[in-house]
A and B are shown apart, each in its own frame.
Chain A
């Protein structure tokens, strides 16, 4: 069964005098455990697709289903709660909460889910160990390198045990070593724990690791390739 399914997805931006069609009849199915990279030139609609699939934006037309539940018709508050329970986000600029320590950043999501303190602590520490940040529990983001921050962001994205993780250009701001390190971690999570990953990226290093590469051109899927790795 597909974790994510889109039907004739369209997105038109009317912010300028000339309407811009960012997505054009996108039909897509992503199965549980896939490691998918969405690629394409700037302005091809990668981020828009991720935003709509992640429930951060609404399509102009078409439908989005997560585990057969249609999310594009959900009210704001329900959608926020849905995101909290089902979707993990990793952003290009890490976007950790600067006033919280690494462990608090990870716990924060579970706190929103009303988990017990004991469970939050246990899982936050476990996830931070998993991404190689065992010695940085009590360090705030401004004392961490970009790569370390992104690893904490991955731990945060995993904290809510989401159905999938959406990562928008997660390696764009990282040096090569940090990028490889991050990709190793995410590939392992995908391989060993069957975490479904969807990346939007320009980064060849990511594309090489992905098992499915969807290419968008002018808002439409121009190529959808599967690889066995």
Chain B
């Protein structure tokens, strides 16, 4: 085996130029594949994490009618019970109880339909990282009476800055229309511009006064410690509180779920294309090698080298060639990912708004799991072995008597 390994390794370097070109082709092909995959995964992961962290959380609880009617009269009456159960559960990272009202926001020149979220400021810091999302102003601090947080899209559209006054109009629990003046405390920005145009946040107590009802909870958002526990915990909650509609992030945001699955498929297609090209490149190279070395292979068969050994030799040569190229490609790929992961790649020159409209950050942090590299290595090895079977088979089919005389 040792000599077979030696022969195979040396054979790889017989035609240095061709081997180096092929190794570079594999290397740069994999590098491109790894980096494109990391970029795409980074983009999707960011979008996913940001959606979970800033928008939907892992689980939300609503009154079933609230989902249909969006009426704040459909409340979660067992909110306190749920809240204390969540407080004592180790799976829960944070949770927030919200009052949700549909209404109109207006200033001197514009009017816009909005969803008004009455929140507990401390809870939302932890649940949707609202404070971290602020790009202007502060987190309900500078304004003492009726502070409000707006998304940047809405603020830009209505030309509103922190400190400006706006009017919120909505229906109270008695069905009467009520209006109140709020002052902009801060402007937030998430990766989803549609969200930023639609949602405004006020303090729950301020909203309660205007709604004419305290302790009105229409939505409970739950952030878990582990994403994987979502479905099990949702089922557990649903069992405990069957009268409410309890939905996981995948149910709340099917597009997010689709995106997650679609990305996996896209990455698989991308890698398959690269491996497909690799297989044909390899097939071509190895067939040329067999053609050029017909006489030598004929001699090996003539002097008594078994077909299994000849077959193994061709497989080994292919494997060496591919491993060398793959190691090179994976190293530069992993290095590129590592170098760009921290700082990220700023794609805002290509249109930050466009990215934001689709819920993506313009600065992408490429990322890849170690499992990806392992899977890639296995796939490359399988591809190379499959691609080398035909050339190896051709070598076996040589007639030694004719092969040794081939010019």
Contact of B296 among A47, A83, A89, A97 (CB under 8 A): A97
Interface status of A109 (Cβ within 8 A of chain B)? yes
Interface status of B11 (Cβ within 8 A of chain A)? yes
Q: A56-B401, A77-B307, A95-B296 are in contact. Are A89 and B302 (CB under 8 A)?
A: yes
A77 to B309, CA, bound (A): 11
**Contacting residues, chain A, for B11 (C-beta < 8 A):** 99
**Contacting residues, chain B, for A98 (C-beta < 8 A):** 14, 296
Residue of A nearest to B403 (CB): A56
Is B303 touching A83 in the complex (CB atoms < 8 A)?
yes
The interface of chain A, by Cβ under 8 A from chain B, is 47, 51, 54, 56-57, 76-77, 80-81, 83-85, 89, 91, 93, 95, 97-100, 104, 107-109, 111-113, 156, 160
**Contacting residues, chain A, for B118 (C-beta < 8 A):** none
Contact of B400 among A56, A85, A99, A111 (CB under 8 A): A56
Contact of A81 among B304, B399, B400, B405 (CB under 8 A): B304
Enumerate B277-313 residues with CB–CB distance to A below 8 Å.
Answer: 295-296, 299-307, 309
A112 to B305, CA, bound (A): 7
Measured CB to CB, the closest approach of chain A to B340, in angstroms, equals 41
Residue of A nearest to B12 (CB): A99
Chain B 1-35: CB-based contact to A (< 8 A → 1; otherwise 0): 00100110011001000000000000000000000
Contacts A56-B401, A95-B404, A99-B14 supplied; 18 other A-B pairs, CB < 8 Å = A47-B405, A51-B401, A77-B307, A83-B302, A84-B303, A84-B304, A91-B404, A93-B295, A95-B295, A95-B296, A97-B296, A98-B14, A98-B296, A100-B6, A100-B10, A104-B3, A104-B6, A109-B304
Is B306 touching A81 in the complex (CB atoms < 8 A)?
yes
Please provide the 4 A-B residue pairs with the shortest distance between their CB atoms, ordered closest to farther.
A84-B304, A99-B10, A56-B401, A51-B401
A108 to B301, CA, bound (A): 13
Enumerate B340-395 residues with CB–CB distance to A below 8 Å.
Answer: none
Interface of A, helix, strand, loop or mixed by DSSP? helix
Contact of A111 among B3, B10, B301 (CB under 8 A): B3
Measured CB to CB, the closest approach of chain A to B4, in angstroms, equals 9
Is B306 touching A77 in the complex (CB atoms < 8 A)?
yes
Q: A93-B295, A99-B7, A99-B14 are in contact. Are A57 and B401 (CB under 8 A)?
A: yes
**Contacting residues, chain B, for A100 (C-beta < 8 A):** 6-7, 10
**Contacting residues, chain A, for B405 (C-beta < 8 A):** 47
Is B401 touching A112 in the complex (CB atoms < 8 A)?
no
Is B14 touching A97 in the complex (CB atoms < 8 A)?
no
**Contacting residues, chain B, for A81 (C-beta < 8 A):** 304, 306
Residue of A nearest to B301 (CB): A80
**Contacting residues, chain B, for A95 (C-beta < 8 A):** 295-296, 299, 404
Is A112 touching B10 in the complex (CB atoms < 8 A)?
no
Measured CB to CB, the closest approach of chain A to B396, in angstroms, equals 9
**Contacting residues, chain B, for A112 (C-beta < 8 A):** 303-306, 309
A99 to B302, CA, bound (A): 18
Measured CB to CB, the closest approach of chain B to A105, in angstroms, equals 10
**Contacting residues, chain A, for B7 (C-beta < 8 A):** 97, 99-100
A113 to B309, CA, bound (A): 12
Residue of A nearest to B13 (CB): A99
A sample of 8 inter-chain contacts (CB < 8 A) reads A54-B302, A56-B399, A56-B400, A56-B404, A93-B295, A97-B300, A112-B304, A156-B303
Q: Most B CB atoms within 10 A — which of A81, A109, A111?
A: A111
**Contacting residues, chain B, for A57 (C-beta < 8 A):** 399, 401
**Contacting residues, chain A, for B300 (C-beta < 8 A):** 97
Measured CB to CB, the closest approach of chain A to B9, in angstroms, equals 9
Q: Most B CB atoms within 10 A — which of A47, A57, A77, A112?
A: A112
Residue of B nearest to A76 (CB): B307
A174 to B14, CA, bound (A): 25
Measured CB to CB, the closest approach of chain B to A76, in angstroms, equals 7
**Contacting residues, chain B, for A156 (C-beta < 8 A):** 303
**Contacting residues, chain A, for B399 (C-beta < 8 A):** 56-57
Measured CB to CB, the closest approach of chain A to B293, in angstroms, equals 9
A106 to B6, CA, bound (A): 15
